[in-house]
Amino acid sequence: MDFLSYEFMQRALLAAFLVGMTAPTVGVYLVQRRLALIGDGLGHVALAGVAIGVLTSQAPVLTALVLAVIGAVAIELIRSRGHTSGDIALAVLFYGGIAGGVVIISQAPGGTPGNLNAFLFGAITTTTADDITVFAALCGLVLMVTLGLARYLFAVSNDEEFAVASGLPVLRLNLLLVVVTAMTVVVSMRVIGLLLISALMILPIASAQLVAASFRQTIAIGVGIGASVSVSGVTLSFYADTPSGGTIVLLAIGVFVLVALLRAVRTAVFRLRGAGRAEGVGSDDPVTDSPVTDSLLGGNVVPGGVGTRPV
C-alpha cells in the first residue's frame, strides 16, 4: 500500500472512484435507449472543445463542456423532431467533432501540443486538487439527476410513447439525460480518455444486466463494478507502468467476459436440471430448486435490456 503515500496517487484514486461510480448511472439509460455509442460521439465533440480551449488559451475543460452540451442538445432535438434518424445524427456528431478538433488544433502555435494525449487517452496521475473539486461537483450533479429522477428516466428510456401518454415531460427529460451524459464525458476525459469513455459507461452495465433481476439492481451492481475496475485499474497501472485508461477498460472487459461465462455455465446447469426433472430425476435440494434462488442467480432479465421489475 506504499502507493497511497503519494499525493498524486491519492488524487488519482479519488478521481477514479468518482468517475467509476458516476458513469454507469448514465450508461444504464443509454443502453436501454440503444444509444451506447453516444458517449463516443460526445467525446469527439469534446475534443473539438479542448482544441478551442488550447487555441484561445482558455480552460480546455470548460470549452469542452460547453461544446459537448451544445452537441448533446443538438442531437436530441434532431432525433426528437424526426428530421433524421438518431444513427445519422450521431454519425454527423462523431465525425464532425473529430474533424473540427483536428482542424482547430492544427492552428495552435507549434502544431498539436503533446498534452492533447492527456485528453485522448487520459492522464489521471496529473489530476490536481482543483480538478478533484470540479469532478466532485459535476459528479454530484450527475448523480442527483440519474438517481433522483431514476423512475422518470427509466419510464422515458423504456417506452417513450407510454411516457408521453402518461403525461411525463419527455423532451425535457431526454434533454436532461443527454446534458448529464455530456457532463460525464467531460469529467471522465482526464481519467480514462475521450476515446475510451463509452466503455466505462456501458461495460459495467452490460455486466450487471447479466445477473440483475431489476432495474435498481442493475444500477447498484453497475456502479459497484464501475468503481471497482476504475480504482483497481489505477492501482494496477501504477505497478505495471501501463496507461490507466486502457488498464481500466481491459479490466471492465475482463469482468464482462467472466460474468458472461458464469451465466453461460449457470444456464447450462439449469438446462441439465430441467432435463433431469423431465425424466423424473429432480433434485432434492430445496435451496437450489427454489424460485427465489433462480431469481437471485439472475432470472427475470430481458435479453439486451435491464430487468423488468419495477424501479
Looking at residue 302, its pLDDT comes to 42
The C-alpha atoms of residue 276 and residue 145 are separated, in whole angstroms, by 48
Can you spell out the DSSP letters for 157-220? HH-HHHHHHTT--HHHHHHHHHHHHHHHHHHHTTTT-TTTHHHHHHHHHHHHHTT-SBHHHHHH
Residues shown for the chain? 311
DSSP β-bridge partners for residue 291: none
The residue extents of the domains of the chain are 2-296
Looking at residue 293, its pLDDT comes to 38
Backbone torsions φ then ψ of 35, nearest 5 degrees: -120, 40
The candidate with the shortest Cα–Cα distance to 203, out of 153, 243, 254, 237, is: 254
Q: How many CB atoms neighbour CB 301 within 10 A? A: 21
Per-residue pLDDT of the chain (311 residues; tens, 9 = 90+): 666 777 878 888 888 899 889 999 999 998 888 777 787 788 888 888 888 887 887 777 888 888 888 888 888 887 777 656 666 777 777 788 878 877 887 776 665 555 567 777 677 777 778 878 888 888 899 999 999 888 888 888 888 788 888 888 888 888 898 899 888 888 888 777 777 888 888 999 999 999 888 888 999 999 999 999 999 998 898 888 888 888 899 999 999 999 999 988 888 888 888 776 766 554 454 444 444 434 444 444 444 455 444 45
Looking at residue 301, its pLDDT comes to 41
Looking at residue 299, its pLDDT comes to 46
The C-alpha atoms of residue 227 and residue 32 are separated, in whole angstroms, by 21
Looking at residue 112, its pLDDT comes to 55
Looking at residue 244, its pLDDT comes to 84
Looking at residue 85, its pLDDT comes to 62
Which triple of cell numbers denotes residue 48? 473539438
May I ask the CATH class of domain 2-296?
mainly alpha
